[in-house]
Amino acid sequence: MRKVGIIAGREYFSRVKKPQFILLTLGAPLLFGLFILIVGLIFSYTGSEEKRILVFDPSDILEQRFEPSASIVAEFREGSRRELLDLKAEEGFDGVLLVPEVEDPQVDEVTLRYISDQRLNIDLDQRFSSYFNSRLRDWKIKRLGLDEMLLDGLNTRVRISSSTDLVAAASEDDDTDAGSSIAPYVAGGIGLVIAMLIYFMVFINGTMIMRSVMEEKVNRIVEIMISTVRPFDLMMGKLLGVGAVGVTQILIWLIFIPLVYFGIIALFGSSMDMSGTGMSAEDAPEVDAGTLAMVMRELAGFNWLLISVSFIFYYLGGFFLYSSLFGALGAMMGDDLGENNSLSLVVTIPIILAIYIGIVAVQSPNSTLAVWSSMFPLFSPIVMPCRLAFEPPLWQVGVSFLALIAFTLLIVWFSGKIYRVGILMYGKKASVKELIKWLRTN
């Protein structure tokens, strides 16, 4: 055991002492946020190129105003189709929009005609039709002489207030707003962030272990150590050392992130707006000061102790499970990198599957897929954290915990056997037949 400690100590301190460690640990959440922001920007990207178009509107539905997007500049003209097209060519317009003549205010279908050298992209196409639809609605209201106030009264905002606390909900006067409509989004967000972090940490640390085992094998250092250290101790030392690095990172985050969070609140108060995030008001209409306050209240309402403990537990479970497999892989490999990459796919695929299931689990945390995956050890370290904020039944969390522990012990034992023989073999790669032989020997 003393030797396991020495090995773990080397693995731990050689990583934590590096200046990159603290930078990466503190930088990771920032990078992570930046990553999400960039993905958001990519998705909200629309060609910003300005388009000048001619609009022909004989019934004056649009009242000389057409603004479906900031990039559209419209000019209203009269004339035959021929004349308008000539005008387009002469004055260099990008396109001509022909609005049909509408007589009947009850019309239920209208076709706009757009003539141009370039088709409208999907985004503009949708904007045109939805914009025209709302403008046509205003025109109809006016033509039919309806009272706009009355019409507005027909719209009702409906919210779902869900509660998982059956006892409290049973009492009639339960008006504690346990979960607002925004709750699932906040819970899902927390789950996904934790799952993503576990995913990245398991992945990065796992491959790190694989590479360091491979290095020890290729440069034969393991042959010097093997006369004094058992291979299993060598592997355990490595797992414990690198595993502790991950726990250190999580602890730093658990302390650091709330500090930053409260720091921001103290600095800016709750009047933050989303203008800095690159999303236009149009795209995120629900986010206003009130919503933000709701998010804050939601955040305060979570069982942070359970979430923190589970974070560390599932990280450790996932880490030991996958890293011992990565370690065994590293022991089986030679120094042929190409071949190693394809070999490591075997271990990589379940992790990637897990993160996809996790994304689905956030959307429907109590679906059969989510429930079973969150108890299946190869997936649970990533899927269960996605569900945790939705407060799944405790027995499921318990089964998930126990299954993960049992399965991880089995895999560590199994990997230890492969590691023991693999790390000492050289010159040739292990065949499946040989692997089975290794497993059988003592």
Partner 1 sequence: MDVPALQVDGVTKKYEKHLAVDNISFEVERGVLFGMLGPNGAGKTSTIRMITGITLPDSGKIFLNGKRVDGSLTPGIGYLPEERGLYRKMTVGEHLMYLIRLRGFSRSEGKKMVDDWVERFEIGSWWKKKIEELSKGMQQKVQFIAAVMHNPDLMILDEPFSGLDPVNSNLIREEIRRLSSLGKGVILSTHRMEQVEELCEKIVLINRGRIVLTGNLDEIKESYWQNEFLVDFENSDQQPDWNGLEEVERDHKGRWKVRLKEGQRTGDMLNGLINSGREIIHFEKSLPSLNDIFIKVTGEDLIREE
Q: How many residues of this chain interact with partner 1, rule: CB under 8 A? A: 18
Rounded CA gap, 401 and 374, in Å?
10
Mark 11-40 with x for binding to partner 1 (rule: CB under 8 A) and - for no binding. ---x--------------------------
Half-sphere exposure of 48 (CA within 13 A, CB side): 4
Rounded CA gap, 142 and 150, in Å?
13
**Which range binds partner 1 by CB under 8 A, 4-12, 28-36, 190-198, 379-387?**
4-12
CB of 296 to partner 1, least distance (A): 45
CB of 228 to partner 1, least distance (A): 5
Among 36, 226, 287, 299, binds partner 1 (CB under 8 A): 226
Closest by CA position to 107, among listed 56, 59, 68: 59
325 near partner 1, rule: CB under 8 A: no
Nearer to partner 1, 226 or 284 (CB): 226
Nearer to partner 1, 227 or 271 (CB): 227
Residue 94 neighbours by CB distance under 10 Å:
16
For 159, phi then psi, to 5°, come to -115, 150
**Which range binds partner 1 by CB under 8 A, 25-33, 75-83, 152-160, 225-233?**
225-233
3-state helix, strand, coil in the chain (%, to 5): 65, 5, 30
44 near partner 1, rule: CB under 8 A: no
- Interhelix angle 337-363/183-218, rounded to 10 degrees, is 170
DSSP 245-261: HHHHHHHHHHHHHHHHH
Calculated CA dihedral for residues 21, 25, 31, 32, nearest 10 degrees: 140
Nearer to partner 1, 180 or 212 (CB): 212
CB of 238 to partner 1, least distance (A): 13
211 near partner 1, rule: CB under 8 A: no
Rounded CA gap, 36 and 34, in Å?
5
Nearer to partner 1, 131 or 232 (CB): 232
Nearer to partner 1, 226 or 307 (CB): 226
77 near partner 1, rule: CB under 8 A: no
Residues that bind partner 1 in the complex, under the rule CB under 8 A = 3, 6-7, 10, 14, 219-221, 223-230, 424, 428
